[in-house]
Amino acid sequence: PLDGGMLFPQESSFREVKELNGLWDFRADGSPNRNEGFEKAWYKRRLTETGPVIEMPVPASYNDITQDPTLRDFIGWVWYEREVFVPARWISDEGTRVVLRVGSAHYYSIVWVNGEKVTEHEGGHLPFEAEISSLIRKEPTKPCRITIAVNNTLTLETLPPGTIQYMNDSSRYPDGFFVQNIDFDFFNYAGIHRSVLLYTTPKVHVDDISVETNFMDNTGLVRYKVSVQGGFNNTLNITLMDKDGHFVASSTGSSGGLKVVDVKLWWPYLMHENPGYLYSMKVRQHAHRHVGDEYTLPVGIRTINVTNTQFLINNKPFYFHGVNKHEDSDIRGRGFDWPLIVKDFNLMKWLGVNSFRTSHYPYAEEILQMCDRHGIVVIDELLPHISVFRNASLSHHLVVMDELVRRDKNHPSVVMWSVANEPASEMPPAEFYFKTLIEHTKALDQTRPVTYVTIAAADMDKGGPYVDVVCANSYFAWYFDQGRLDIIPLQLSTHFENWYRKYQRPIIQSEYGADAVPGLHMDPPMMFTEEYQNALLQSYHDVFDQKRNQYFVGELIWNFADFMTSQGIYRVVGNKKGIFTRQRQPKAAAFLLRKRYWRLANETG
Ligand code: GCB
């Protein structure tokens, strides 16, 4: 188990937050062994004193910021640094705890403050933090120097895995030439992708909160657990308020239940006129009758259940009509960007989307918070393709799953965990691997179904018996039977029937689609034209509609928008299966889908 919680930093009368976004000093370690930064201990002095630096925005991937192709394709350590003044009151008050938090950095990170190492973290899409209170009190009048080294190298030990291949033929490649091979279909963007923050809590502080919700008739129930760190003999007061701030229920103690009379349930977008209803749970910690800390958690009251043929939210059948996304855009790469996020939500609402999958990694918490408020349903996915099923990768996978559940457990929008996308699940070791991983996840969270997304056929897939919902990807008439749209009705129905006959589980089409280069037209349709993308979608939809009243519970298009990939003969400046371009302008398919999704919203609620 992990130690401690990972509550989203929040301001209150007892907590402050200081964002460290903006320009940082930056240097990529281009030395032959990529290790000069450690050999010369760059963290000991200012980065500007050990060599040239450039300005690098945070948050952002560094890859597309400059005109330098070496930096775009860089593999190895890059160094970020900035100085920050810590408010004097944070330093003088011994009762204040100061924490440095990185929302995410890809892939391996080491963090120093004033030359002293404070933490390291593996994995690209989840937050990590370090308490730095005593460190900053050592030199109270000096600005505090934060250095972060980030390494994007993927190996057989990382998740996702990758390999480094050295080209030793000196007649063809220069000295030290190597390539990074990866198995997933998106660009390996790197750098500090989400906000870096300093935040404070009182020394005795609310460290973690978990809620589980239920209801019966008109009465809702919120069961909670709170953990406090840094001291003893505390009293906890819990107050639940409705959206307008009116008192609903209260309780005391570190665990308990809150009863909500005339409950307003959390409903998905388009299923109810008030989607995304959130209560607020205020957790107050007192010692000696003084309020010591306060944290307010948004709480949506809803239930999730799965039968043999249905996915139920609040006991009503839910049909996913949505998208798969990426955190991806021009210039920023995978960097967090509010204008982009709000634009994407507006586009999703224009389309009539009620759900999406976080293909193929955990997205920023701010995105999930928006989903909570807007009632957009999320399948929370952890990892892209994996094909190595070693014990070491399994134990690492379990830890990352712990981190994901710890971060996202309280979001009402998250209705299912996907532990991986398209693993090599036809290989025999996949059975034990996914059995273990899914059981582990269920032990962490008993309230949500668990799945992984498969590309295998029902009779080949080894993890099939363990998933609650079958999430199946397929690319009929694209990767197979190229250009032959006429095979879709037969192959897709057979595929569904095989899955359902074997496991009697509800099925979601978790990916389907075709590349379309915007502006390319041809009739009769040919691959890569907007007409072909439309025709392929339409043929899939015809089959979905036949199965909808049986066991088929959702469709997620691949992909919401075009996105960047590594270079190769299958990709024309990235993957073009978006129904929007990478700049978020519609292709013809966006209009087709919009018509369909609004019709589905009316038919299925
Ligand atoms: C898939 C993968 C996704 C790819 C997509 C494609 O099956 O899950 O990551 O981008 O196919 O377009 O090939």
Q: What is the CATH number of the domain that holds 55?
A: 2.60.120.260
- Shortest CA distance to 271 belongs to which of 315, 325, 214, 211? 315
Q: What is the pLDDT, as a whole number, of residue 268? A: 98
Whether 328 contacts 337, CB under 8 Å: no
More confident residue, 517 or 391: 517
Q: What is the pLDDT, as a whole number, of residue 241? A: 98
Joined tokens for residue 114: 């004033």
Joined tokens for residue 222: 């919120």
- Shortest CA distance to 602 belongs to which of 270, 292, 354? 270
Most informative mutation of 385, 480, 575 for ligand 1 (most atoms within 8 A of CB): 575
Q: What is the pLDDT, as a whole number, of residue 582? A: 98
**Domain-embedded: residue 209:** yes
> Is the C-beta atom of 511 inside 6 A of ligand 1?
yes
Count CA within 13 A, CB hemisphere, residue 220: 24
Joined tokens for residue 390: 């070693």
> Is the C-beta atom of 531 inside 6 A of ligand 1?
no
Band of residue 605 on the pLDDT scale cut at 50, 70, 90: low
CA of 593 relative to ligand 1 center, distance in Å = 19
Q: Are residues 125 and 213 in the same domain?
A: no
Q: Are residues 273 and 310 in the same domain?
A: no
Q: What percent of the residues of the chain are helix, what percent strand, and what percent coil, each to the nearest 5?
A: 25, 35, 45
More confident residue, 230 or 317: 317
Nearest CA, atom 2, ligand 1? 185
422 is catalytic: yes
**Domain-embedded: residue 159:** no
Joined tokens for residue 100: 């440095």
Q: Can you say how many angstroms the Cα of residue 147 is from the centroid of all Cα atoms in its chain? A: 25
Band of residue 517 on the pLDDT scale cut at 50, 70, 90: very high
Reply yes or no on whether the pLDDT at 379 is more than 70.
Answer: yes
Band of residue 386 on the pLDDT scale cut at 50, 70, 90: confident
Whether 50 contacts 149, CB under 8 Å: no
Beta bridge partners of 507: 470, 552
Joined tokens for residue 385: 């393709």
Q: Are residues 364 and 448 in the same domain?
A: yes
pLDDT digits (tens, 9 = 90+) for 168-225: 999 999 998 999 999 999 999 999 999 999 999 999 999 999 999 999 999 999 999 9
Q: What is the pLDDT, as a whole number, of residue 131? A: 97
Coil, strand, or helix at residue 537?
helix
CA of 413 relative to ligand 1 center, distance in Å = 24
Band of residue 137 on the pLDDT scale cut at 50, 70, 90: very high
Number of DSSP helices (H) and strands (E) in the chain, helices first? 11, 32
Band of residue 405 on the pLDDT scale cut at 50, 70, 90: very high
Band of residue 2 on the pLDDT scale cut at 50, 70, 90: confident
Whether 114 contacts 81, CB under 8 Å: no
| SS3 assignment for 281-296 | EEEEEEECCEEEEEEE
Q: Are residues 334 and 285 in the same domain?
A: no
> Is the C-beta atom of 473 inside 6 A of ligand 1?
yes
Q: Are residues 235 and 272 in the same domain?
A: yes
Residues 6+ away with beta carbon under 8 Å from 430:
389, 423, 424, 462, 463
Q: What is the pLDDT, as a whole number, of residue 388? A: 82
Reply yes or no on whether the pLDDT at 141 is more than 90.
Answer: no
Q: Are residues 210 and 244 in the same domain?
A: yes
Beta bridge partners of 369: none
**Crossing angle (nearest 10°) for helices 391-408 and 430-444:** 30
Average pLDDT over residues 297-322: 98
Distance, in Å, from the CA atom of 565 to the CA atom of 396, rounded to the nearest integer, reads: 26
Question: Which residue segment(s) compose the domain that 123 sits in?
Answer: 17-152+188-201
Band of residue 287 on the pLDDT scale cut at 50, 70, 90: confident
Rg of the chain (C-alpha set): 25
CA of 422 relative to ligand 1 center, distance in Å = 9
Q: What is the pLDDT, as a whole number, of residue 349? A: 98
Q: What is the pLDDT, as a whole number, of residue 390? A: 86
pLDDT digits (tens, 9 = 90+) for 317-375: 999 999 999 999 999 999 999 999 999 999 999 999 999 999 999 999 999 999 999 99
Q: What is the pLDDT, as a whole number, of residue 531? A: 98
Reply yes or no on whether the pLDDT at 502 is more than 90.
Answer: yes
Count: domains in the chain: 3
Distance, in Å, from the CA atom of 132 to the CA atom of 147, rounded to the nearest integer, reads: 13
Band of residue 604 on the pLDDT scale cut at 50, 70, 90: confident
Count CA within 13 A, CB hemisphere, residue 22: 7
Cβ–Cβ contacts within 10 Å for residue 70, how many? 9
Nearest CA, atom 4, ligand 1? 185
Position 371, amino acid: C
**Domain-embedded: residue 578:** yes
**Beta strand segments in 217-347, E:** 219-229, 235-241, 247-252, 255-260, 279-287, 290-299, 304-306, 311-313, 316-317, 320-324
Band of residue 410 on the pLDDT scale cut at 50, 70, 90: very high
Most informative mutation of 422, 454, 536, 556 for ligand 1 (most atoms within 8 A of CB): 422
pLDDT digits (tens, 9 = 90+) for 431-484: 999 999 999 999 999 999 999 999 999 999 999 999 999 999 999 999 999 999
> Is the C-beta atom of 565 inside 6 A of ligand 1?
no
Q: Are residues 239 and 352 in the same domain?
A: no
CA of 535 relative to ligand 1 center, distance in Å = 19
**Domain-embedded: residue 177:** no
**Domain-embedded: residue 46:** yes
Q: Can you say how many angstroms the Cα of residue 403 is from the centroid of all Cα atoms in its chain? A: 11
Distance, in Å, from the CA atom of 207 to the CA atom of 197, rounded to the nearest integer, reads: 17
**Domain-embedded: residue 1:** no
Q: Are residues 381 and 370 in the same domain?
A: yes
Q: Can you say how many angstroms the Cα of residue 105 is from the centroid of all Cα atoms in its chain? A: 13
> Is the C-beta atom of 512 inside 6 A of ligand 1?
no
More confident residue, 105 or 156: 105
Q: Are residues 563 and 509 in the same domain?
A: yes
Q: What is the pLDDT, as a whole number, of residue 233? A: 66
Q: Give me the sheet containing 96-102, strands edge to edge.
A: 17-19, 196-202, 96-102, 128-131
Angle (nearest 5°) at CA 456 between 452 and 460: 110
CATH number for 489:
3.20.20.80
Q: What is the pLDDT, as a whole number, of residue 69? A: 97
Position 267, amino acid: W
CATH number for 253:
2.60.40.10
> Is the C-beta atom of 562 inside 6 A of ligand 1?
no
> Is the C-beta atom of 422 inside 6 A of ligand 1?
yes
Distance, in Å, from the CA atom of 388 to the CA atom of 385, rounded to the nearest integer, reads: 10
> Is the C-beta atom of 385 inside 6 A of ligand 1?
no
Distance, in Å, from the CA atom of 206 to the CA atom of 229, rounded to the nearest integer, reads: 7
Catalytic residue among 81, 294, 422, 511: 422
**Domain-embedded: residue 87:** yes
CA of 185 relative to ligand 1 center, distance in Å = 6
Whether 167 contacts 311, CB under 8 Å: no
Average pLDDT over residues 494-517: 98
CA of 412 relative to ligand 1 center, distance in Å = 28
Nearest CA, atom 5, ligand 1? 185
Final residue in a domain of this structure, among 299, 330, 364: 299
Q: Are residues 243 and 309 in the same domain?
A: no
**Domain-embedded: residue 163:** no
Phi, psi torsion values for 370, nearest 5 degrees? -65, -40
- Whole-model pTM: value is 0.98
Distance, in Å, from the CA atom of 557 to the CA atom of 600, rounded to the nearest integer, reads: 14
Q: Are residues 240 and 313 in the same domain?
A: no
Q: Are residues 242 and 313 in the same domain?
A: no
